């Protein structure tokens, strides 16, 4: 395949995986498949988008990088153009810059598939292209198809009578949503269509979240860094709509002067 719903792509391949990424928009990893299978483990949303102050934003699906906290004028900046692709020995680097003169948050993803197992390493970077300081965090979002179960591990870490965990929910979430499961070691969200959508989050020191669907368990590992987080302290968030489920991981928010960057893997 050399396109994704009309967008041109290129492919990385190992003995375990094939990975397709966009070369004209994003940055986006849009297909991830096990060798010998044509099933895309990532969610596809070519029909989803919305109007923004800077034009129409196409969600597209796959794995993307946003900036947190969620600010429509910054987070949803249309990224259908402005991408630079640089192939490197270990993979590929995808860099997106805001339009000259407008300012914004530049996005960078390095994709490095591992050669000895079915695994991919990502490095995410955001850079302040405004003419003034801002405070943002890298926000790595992996879109997945419905039909599975998402895991957010958050086991006990304290002792005695002091609180050691917090569950964050969004205003449209109902406590009795049948997709939400609370367990001793964390929580689960079923990837099933229902209205309204559901979104939950927490700070997890475990360093992973996961999604199990049709016999495949996809782990998303990250470094649980110490710092100030958006969304009431979440470093992992799970969102499910009537179309997709998202595994979202975040780094602490950083004060960035013009030209400064912050990374997250």
- Is residue 129 a contact partner of residue 195, using CB atoms and an 8 Å limit? no
Each residue's pLDDT tens digit, 37-76: 999 999 999 999 999 988 999 999 999 999 999 998 899 9
Percentage of the chain modeled with pLDDT above 90: 89
Q: Nearest to residue 229, comparing CAs of 206, 201, 209?
A: 201
Q: Is the pLDDT of residue 1 over 60?
A: no
Token digits for 134?
A: 């801002």
**Confidence band, pLDDT 50/70/90 cuts, at residue 2:** confident
Of residues 160 and 257, more confidence is placed in 257
Mean pLDDT of 214-234: 95
Range list of β-strands (E), 79-166: 83-88, 91-96, 105-113, 120-128, 134-145, 149-153
Q: How is residue 24 written in tokens?
A: 């004209």
pLDDT for residue 262 is more than 60: yes
* pLDDT single digits (tens) 126-174: 999 999 999 999 999 999 999 999 999 999 887 778 888 899 999 999 9
In this structure, the strands spanning 180-183 and 244-250 are unpaired
pLDDT at 82 (0 to 100): 92
pLDDT score, position 210 = 98
DSSP sequence for 9-66 = EEEEE-SSEEEEEESSSSSEEEEEEETT----SS-EEEEEEEEETTEEEEEEESEEEE
**pLDDT (0 to 100) of residue 164:** 87
Q: What is the pLDDT of residue 102?
A: 79
Mean pLDDT of 219-230: 94
How does the average pLDDT of the chain come out, rounded?
95
So what's the pLDDT on residue 171? 96
Task: Quote the pLDDT of residue 195.
Answer: 79
176-199 pLDDT tens trace = 999 999 999 999 999 999 878 999
Task: Answer whether 62's CB lies under 8 Å from 28's CB.
Answer: yes
Query: Is the dihedral angle over the CA atoms 243, 182, 122, 20 positive or is it negative?
Result: negative
């Amino acid at each position: 395949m050399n396109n994704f719903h009309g967008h041109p792509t290129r492919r990385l391949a190992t003995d375990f995986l094939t990975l397709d990424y966009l070369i004209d928009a994003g940055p986006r990893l849009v297909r991830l498949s096990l060798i010998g299978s044509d099933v895309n483990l990532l969610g596809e949303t070519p029909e989803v988008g919305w109007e923004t102050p800077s034009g129409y934003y196409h969600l597209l699906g796959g794995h993307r990088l946003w900036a947190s906290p969620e600010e429509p004028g910054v987070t949803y900046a249309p990224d259908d153009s402005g991408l630079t692709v640089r192939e490197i020995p270990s993979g590929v680097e995808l860099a997106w810059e805001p339009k000259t003169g407008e300012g914004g948050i530049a996005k960078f993803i390095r994709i490095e598939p591992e050669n000895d197992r079915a695994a991919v390493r990502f490095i995410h970077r955001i850079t302040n292209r405004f003419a003034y300081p801002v405070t943002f965090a890298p926000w790595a979002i992996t879109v997945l198809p419905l039909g599975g179960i998402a895991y957010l591990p958050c086991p006990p870490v304290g002792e005695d009578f002091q609180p050691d965990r917090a569950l964050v929910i969004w205003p449209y979430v109902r406590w009795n949503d049948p997709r939400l499961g609370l367990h001793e070691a964390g929580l689960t969200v079923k990837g099933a269509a229902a209205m309204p959508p559901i979104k939950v989050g927490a700070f997890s020191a475990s360093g992973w979240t996961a999604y199990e669907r049709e016999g495949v368990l996809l782990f998303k590992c990250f470094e649980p860094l110490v710092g100030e987080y958006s969304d009431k302290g979440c470093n992992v968030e799970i969102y499910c709509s009537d179309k997709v489920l998202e595994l979202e991981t975040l780094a602490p928010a950083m004060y960035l002067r013009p030209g400064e960057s912050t990374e997250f893997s």
